């Protein structure tokens, strides 16, 4: 869209070329105030934002929300996400998820760090009973070990979170199967599963594999 605006500016008005040059220079320097076109100026400010004042000066509401999202991500500050309208929840989930590796031990298991996770979820502006952040949490925890073992979810005391853990394990394994299929890693010759796909005894994951007729397409 911005390219179309640039071409329109340059074609309709000789001054458009100057504005285009200001835009390109602004992307490099972060100095966007001199850009005359509102859309280009907003885009420049959103793309180069480093402080709240940069986002506050963006005129377009949606682009301003994207700016706050970008700034929250860059600063790992979920407290900025309420200003990222209409991307408030997406912003909070993204910043929250990116922080998991920073505070969770590598050997973390389900049922061990839920209290801290709940505190961080609410601090990010999300409800403690919202299963979306919990799914992101358990995807990180379950994905950190091999073989994958969904039975560890049984140690989660809260029933809703326990179910989220188990369902997340299935969704995560489906993603791993997709990756193995696309990279030709699935053992269609009947050999053992690669480390990527190793899992503890689990009838539900057995059923998942059995249902995936796409893993070994007919040759």
**For residue range 38-61, what is the model confidence (pLDDT) as tens digits?**
889 888 988 888 889 989 999 999
Structure token digits, residue 96: 């929250």
pLDDT class of 219 with cuts at 50, 70, 90: low
Report whether pLDDT(11) > 90.
no
Q: Mean per-residue pLDDT for 199-204? A: 97
Q: Mean per-residue pLDDT for 162-179? A: 98
**For residue range 101-143, what is the model confidence (pLDDT) as tens digits?**
999 998 899 999 999 999 999 999 999 999 999 999 999 999 9
Closest of 81, 23, 29 to residue 50, by C-alpha: 29
pTM over 0.85: no
**For residue range 67-111, what is the model confidence (pLDDT) as tens digits?**
999 999 999 999 999 999 999 999 999 999 999 999 999 889 999
Please report the pLDDT score of residue 113 as a whole number.
97
User: Can you tell me the distance from the alpha carbon of 65 to that of 88, in angstroms, rounded to the nearest whole number?
Assistant: 8
- With H, G, I as helix, E, B as strand and everything else as coil, classify residue 171: helix
pLDDT class of 16 with cuts at 50, 70, 90: low
φ/ψ of residue 159, rounded to 5: -60, -45
pLDDT class of 30 with cuts at 50, 70, 90: confident
Torsion of CA 96, 170, 127, 85, to 10 degrees: 60
């Amino acid at each position: 869209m911005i390219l179309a605006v640039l071409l329109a500016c340059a074609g309709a008005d000789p001054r458009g070329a100057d504005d285009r040059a200001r835009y390109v220079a602004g992307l490099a320097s972060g100095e966007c105030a001199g850009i005359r076109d509102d859309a280009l100026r907003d885009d420049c400010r959103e793309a180069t934002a480093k402080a709240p004042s940069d986002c506050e000066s963006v005129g377009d509401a949606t682009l301003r929300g994207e700016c706050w999202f970008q700034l929250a991500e860059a600063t790992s500050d979920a407290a900025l996400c309420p200003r990222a309208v209409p991307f408030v929840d997406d912003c909070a989930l993204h910043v929250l998820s990116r922080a998991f590796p920073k505070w969770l031990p590598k050997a973390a298991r389900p049922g061990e760090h839920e209290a801290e996770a709940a505190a961080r979820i609410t601090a990010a502006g999300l409800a403690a009973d919202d299963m979306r952040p919990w799914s992101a949490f358990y995807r990180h925890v379950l994905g950190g070990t091999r073989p994958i073992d969904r039975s560890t979810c049984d140690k989660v005391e809260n029933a809703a979170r326990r179910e989220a853990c188990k369902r997340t394990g299935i969704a995560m394994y489906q993603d791993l199967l997709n990756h193995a299929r696309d990279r030709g890693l699935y053992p269609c010759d009947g050999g053992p599963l690669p480390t990527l796909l190793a899992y503890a005894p689990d009838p539900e994951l057995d059923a998942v594999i059995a249902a995936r007729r796409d893993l070994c397409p007919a040759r």
